[in-house]
Every structure is written in C-alpha cells, then in structure tokens.
Copies of this chain bind each other. A is one copy, B any other.
Amino acid sequence: MVTRILVVDDEPQILRAMRINLRARDYEVDVAADGGTALRAAAAKPPDLVVLDLGLPDMEGADVIRGLRGWTTVPIIVLSGRVDSADKVAALDAGADDYVTKPFGVDELLARIRAVTRRMGTTSDATPVVKVGPYTVDLSARTVEPPDGNAEVRLTPTEWHLLEILLRNPGKLVSQRQLLQDVWGPQYQTETNYLRQYMAQLRRKLEADPGHPRHLLTEPGMGYRFQP
C-alpha cells in the first residue's frame, strides 16, 4: 500500500524539493501552498500523513492543525524556522505529532516520517460508523442517522470531539484527564464541569432516557465510558 503525503509549504522551491525527494522513496505526494488549500485538499483526498510548514500566508499554523484535527487523526509533522519553545508547545498541543526545526536534514525528516508511519501501520482504526443505541453515528461523515420517526440530531464541534474520543475506545474507560486534555487542552485538566456539561448534552441528544444512560456511562471519580 502506498503512503499518501500532503506537503504544505508556501515556498515553491521547497515544495519541489520535497516532492522529488518523497517521490524517489515511493511516496505519493500532494502539495498545497497555503492553509485553506491544504484543508480542502485533505478533505478531498484524505492523506496518510501531513507535512506542514508553519508561517503560511493565510492562516496560523495551529489553526491549520486544529482544522485537520476536527475530523481526522492523520499524523502531522510540523516544520518551522522558529526555535521558540512556546511555538513547539502550541503546535504539539494543537494536535501535531512531531515538530522539526529548520534547517533540517532530508534524511532526518524521512526518518521521522518512517517513525510516524510505522506506528500508524498498526493503528488501522477503520471504524468510522458506530451504533449508539437506536442512532447510527458516522464519525468521518459527521452524521447521526436517527431511526425511523425520530427527529434529526445535530451535534456541535465540541460535542463531536468528545463523542469521537469515547467512540474510538468502545467499552474502555477514558479518564477525565485525557478527555479534558484532548478536547480543551492540557491546561484544562481539572475543569471537570466542562465534562459534566457536555456529557449531559450528548446524553440528551443520543440517549433514550438521559437520566439513566445505557451507552454513555459515568465511572464516578475516574472518567466516562462508551458501552456499545
């Protein structure tokens, strides 16, 4: 199987060099010169890996990452000229998997690509559609199919994010800390009231009896669990 890489950079000569180097290693390469194009390209042809240069003309790097992370878990390797530690932390916490500072050796980047894709290979999730009680949830399409007669269900971005984490770990307990960190960021690890708020909303929308949930369960003092 061929690995498809989306390279995002605003300098044409770097795009050219990357394309040549990656093609030579038998990767399939798509390119984009700005954040908007990158997001559209990723949506049209979901890549297996994104190499993202910061300092794009149209968008903040962290926003591009968040735009991708809203609907996909594709690995993201960030390139940047900035050595500032705060930039790295921001990008990594936004959802990037690796951060490489320029100038970097081509062989190092290739090694990091191998490292990320190696772990990817064992993670073939491929469960984008899950049944939550009577509803059919499609994680990749972001749709909730109601049973005949029931009203349509719409979820907000935050609700999707939270639900996705739970649904990707069916039957398993997900700690409050991990949920808060993944949805709101590392500095919100103790704001459990957010979880209570949004879990209640999810239950109101997806559970037959929100007061006695059967699939979105609370484990007091520990976290939450999706029970298929």
Interface residues, chain A, with chain B CB atoms under 8 Å away: 1, 26, 73, 75, 85-86, 88-89, 92-93, 95-99, 105, 107-108, 110-112, 114-115, 118-119, 121-123, 125, 127, 140-143, 156-157, 160, 165, 168-169, 171-175, 177-178, 181-182, 186, 219-223, 225
The answer on a CB contact under 8 Å between B156 and A220 is yes
The answer on a CB contact under 8 Å between B141 and A112 is no
Q: Which residue of B lies closest to A26 (CB)?
A: B177
Q: Which residue of B lies closest to A85 (CB)?
A: B105
What separation, in Å, do the CA atoms of A73 and B96 have in the docked complex? 20
The answer on a CB contact under 8 Å between A112 and B140 is no
The 7 listed contacts between A and B (C-beta, < 8 Å) are A1-B223, A85-B107, A86-B107, A89-B111, A114-B186, A142-B173, A142-B222
| Residues of chain B within 8 A of A222, CB atoms compared | 1, 142, 157, 160
| Residues of chain B within 8 A of A118, CB atoms compared | 95, 178, 181-182
Q: Which residue of B lies closest to A87 (CB)?
A: B108
The answer on a CB contact under 8 Å between B96 and A1 is no
What separation, in Å, do the CA atoms of A8 and B49 have in the docked complex? 30
Q: Which residue of B lies closest to A114 (CB)?
A: B186
With contacts A92-B112, A108-B89 taken as known, whether A172 is within 8 angstroms of B143 at the C-beta atoms is yes
What separation, in Å, do the CA atoms of A99 and B104 have in the docked complex? 13
| Residues of chain B within 8 A of A108, CB atoms compared | 85, 88-89
The answer on a CB contact under 8 Å between B122 and A169 is yes
- Shortest beta-carbon distance, A17 to chain B, in Å? 16
With contacts A108-B88, A141-B173 taken as known, whether A73 is within 8 angstroms of B122 at the C-beta atoms is yes
The answer on a CB contact under 8 Å between B97 and A173 is no
